[in-house]
Amino acid sequence: MIVNRSSRTLLMIVSLAMLAGCASGSRHDASHGIDEPYFARDMPGLPGGWDPMMSRVDNPILEVRRLGNPPPALVRRALLAQHEDWVGTPYRLGGTSQHGVDCSALVQNVFAETFQLNLPRTTGEQVREGSPVARDELAPGDLVFFRPPGAYRHVGIFIGDGRFLHASSSRGVMISRLDNSYWRRYYWQARRALEPTNLAQRLLVDVDA
């Protein structure tokens, strides 16, 4: 009787030890996959090997919804997603689709599709939108304008890190650097149609719809 009781006690201790070992192993495996919230991902078409950090979550907009004040980073992610959709689209004066688009039509399409904000069609009208922004205070979503030689003005969308999304007349839809010698020479002004936080909130409303 004493032997049997001792055996049962020993068996119980061994069983509990095995369960504890499995539980600690499970916690280790789970934390290995969850505790690293970001990973680097190459974005197609970005110049110079620029590697913005993308969230692991399936939908970064839903993740940022938990924040009371959505960051400008969310606007940048949305603009990079639009870049993936439009990259390589050829430039066509008067064009408004992915068969061919000009600079102001690209801006108009991106703002309508991403932020549900209707901007005017032409560069001349867009340059009167919102409020002026100093070059050293640019934020993702600001409109940047240029006056190159010729009759036409050029417009793009600042995405952060000194870069802007636009429809280049020579290379189509692409991302360029503001400090590129050409764009630096012909930089004109910038306008903020909406504050970055308001643009991000429009993204969140769209997710809820």
Q: Give the residue numbers annotated as catalytic, written as ranges.
A: 103, 154, 166
The rounded Cα 41 to chain-centroid distance in angstroms is 12
Neighbours of 155 (CB within 10 A): 27
Burial of 133 (0-12, 13-18, 19+ CB in 10 A): middle
Neighbours of 122 (CB within 10 A): 16
CB 82 within 8 A of CB 112: no
Q: For residues 104 and 123, what is the distance between their CA atoms, to the nearest angstrom?
A: 5
Q: What are 144's strand-pairing partners?
A: 156, 190
Q: For residues 21 and 138, what is the distance between their CA atoms, to the nearest angstrom?
A: 54
Give me 123's structure tokens. 């560069």
